[in-house]
Structure 1
């Protein structure tokens, strides 16, 4: 330990008296058990030498910090140097990777689906603490907004053309009326064709864009509100709020198309999942057919399910309210999936700390 790190640790000890959530999160899991999953991410570990890689555990922790504090790649390096709690969480690294290095590591993580392997390993550790599903599960989904971006549109030079009418005004004849109707129909048809062509051009531009804010995001409408971006689908324990599994899709994918249920365990769902069979024991709310009211038995059943599902929004209130994860700046589904995994992990860590403080687990 050099004199600089010694001074930082001394200063952090003074700061810790005021409380540090990250210090508690640091010890919730054994980070070193993730290392074997990440060793094959680098391909330059040979005898040829070269610049040494950053510690993969350090990189994973940085991605975790980004996700739970809503910090973009360009700002995280500065934030690490500025905050003692960040430095302590990262074990006072000698050097901090720049934005490009962090971006490349996230790409490797997403392209090799390492986020799923990390999730499984961490849940293995949670189970070793005695955390298991006992009563049932709740499945739901929430929008993760993104910036749609704008294509380049051709603009005029700003001048307004002036036309001089050289012909005197005359009363319109019947033939003039017919010609006017025909021209209106032709203009309307031409306008439809133009709109369709522009729509196809925008779609082609979206597919081929390299700098578009969100290349994979899609539009959808819910409750008369438009949303662009992605969806986070989760299934949680109905008793302790722990997120058991997650999935990431574009915003236009319907909730019912994703099944995260566990065989043999009750899965409470809202009306959007009505009529869709899953692997678990179905407990979706009944939905009335058009023009028909729900019978009293179904209404009472829905009320019972609603009470069970009342905890379903808690993870999203943490992810969006505390982690500020309701809006992302990454541009593809795999990248959003990695960020969602770390946000779900952060929520689970909060749940574990709460259960530990209550004496539910050791």
Structure 2
């Protein structure tokens, strides 16, 4: 069994001309060869139905992430939209994958954590282009609602077990007065172009500070974060590594009121770290991630990693090709 041969252009493909899209710019700026090598071939030896190549399916999933599409909706859009077909590598005559094929490939990426390698390779190329500057890292986290309903609360006097949630990995988390049942996405973002360098995904009960050290790359000059991230131990580790501590300070029982100098420092840090909200806004408004699609941590982590890949590719294009720029 071999991978399908796709993208062989016919006269009809030559006649189906459309304007350059953002997908075409992504395709031009990224060297897909190393990514294709990471994903490898999906077909084994011997006879059988030819499989869709992994790089083609990877690009299909990126299209789904950019548009917040479910796999059935993505199947329909790939079949019908010329720009989708062109980016994924299908000619007008090629048969496109159905939603079950997309689902199985997503499972492969989840099971083998190949998406992590793709994310690292994309970031390597972004660094080579000079887009990851390492002047500073902004750290933050945001709640994402679970698809499954929370465990049903028993009525007063109820006897017997409580009905569990369909999502056994999701947990309750609270920020201020608002509680969320689901997950939390933690990111470390490069200061200059808000490109995501590190991603951690946990259930919602995990505090912001617990995975924070994993969000620090170690080669940045400073780390910016809100009051939830400051600890004496983290401050000491940053100083030892030669990284400037730009974590906001918070009052405590010994110092219930911050001195004016610390308040002013927090205000200056807040202006810089506010840019870390950009990726979360994109995830929730454009990528339909206010509520996650899957019922376990592994699958939802895959969705978050895919979203980080998609976000970085779009930020790359918007940085290298600002709106209004005339094509070369």
TM-score, normalised relative to structure 1: 0.76
Cα shift at 1:3: 10
Contact 1:220 1:228 in 2 (8 A): yes
Residues 100/310 of structure 1: CA separation in 2 closer, same or farther (3 Å cut): same
Q: How does 1:272-351 map to 2 (within 5 A)?
A: 272-275=228-231, 277-278=233-234, 280=238, 281=243, 282-290=245-253, 292-351=256-315
Residues 222/77 of structure 1: CA separation in 2 closer, same or farther (3 Å cut): same
* Comparing 279-288 and 311-320, the one that deviates more: 279-288
- Which residue of 1 is the match for residue 44 of structure 2? 45
**2:33 matches 1:32:** yes
Aligned counterparts of 1:356 and 1:321: Cα–Cα separation in 2 = 23
Aligned counterparts of 1:329 and 1:3: Cα–Cα separation in 2 = 34
Aligned counterparts of 2:138 and 2:260: Cα–Cα separation in 1 = 24
> Please, which runs of 5 or more residues in structure 1 have no aligned partner?
154-187, 207-211
1:340-362 deviation line (CA, Å, top 9, x unaligned): 12211222122222321359xx9
Aligned counterparts of 1:143 and 1:121: Cα–Cα separation in 2 = 27
1:80-135 deviation line (CA, Å, top 9, x unaligned): 11211111111225122222221111111111111111111111211221233342
Q: How does 1:1-362 map to 2 (within 5 A)?
A: 6-11=11-16, 13-14=17-18, 16=19, 20-39=21-40, 42=42, 45-46=44-45, 48-93=46-91, 94-149=94-149, 191=157, 194=158, 197-199=160-162, 202=163, 205-206=164-165, 212=166, 214-258=167-211, 259=213, 260-263=215-218, 265=220, 266-275=222-231, 277-278=233-234, 280=238, 281=243, 282-290=245-253, 292-357=256-321
Larger Rg, first or second structure (1 or 2):
1
Residues 2/357 of structure 1: CA separation in 2 closer, same or farther (3 Å cut): closer
Residues 293/99 of structure 1: CA separation in 2 closer, same or farther (3 Å cut): same
Residues 223/8 of structure 1: CA separation in 2 closer, same or farther (3 Å cut): farther
Aligned counterparts of 1:9 and 1:228: Cα–Cα separation in 2 = 50
Aligned counterparts of 1:5 and 1:332: Cα–Cα separation in 2 = 43
Higher relative contact order (CA 8 A, sep 6+): 1
Cα shift at 1:23: 1.9
Cα shift at 1:5: 5.4
Contact 1:68 1:324 in 2 (8 A): no
Contact 1:73 1:99 in 2 (8 A): yes
Paired residue secondary structure (1:76): helix
Paired residue secondary structure (1:323): coil
Larger helix percent? 1
Cα shift at 1:322: 2.3
Contact 2:132 2:195 in 1 (8 A): no
Residues 303/321 of structure 1: CA separation in 2 closer, same or farther (3 Å cut): same
Runs of 4 or more, structure 1, over 6 Å off, are: 1-4, 150-153
Aligned counterparts of 1:256 and 1:292: Cα–Cα separation in 2 = 21
Residues 45/226 of structure 1: CA separation in 2 closer, same or farther (3 Å cut): same
Aligned counterparts of 1:305 and 1:122: Cα–Cα separation in 2 = 29
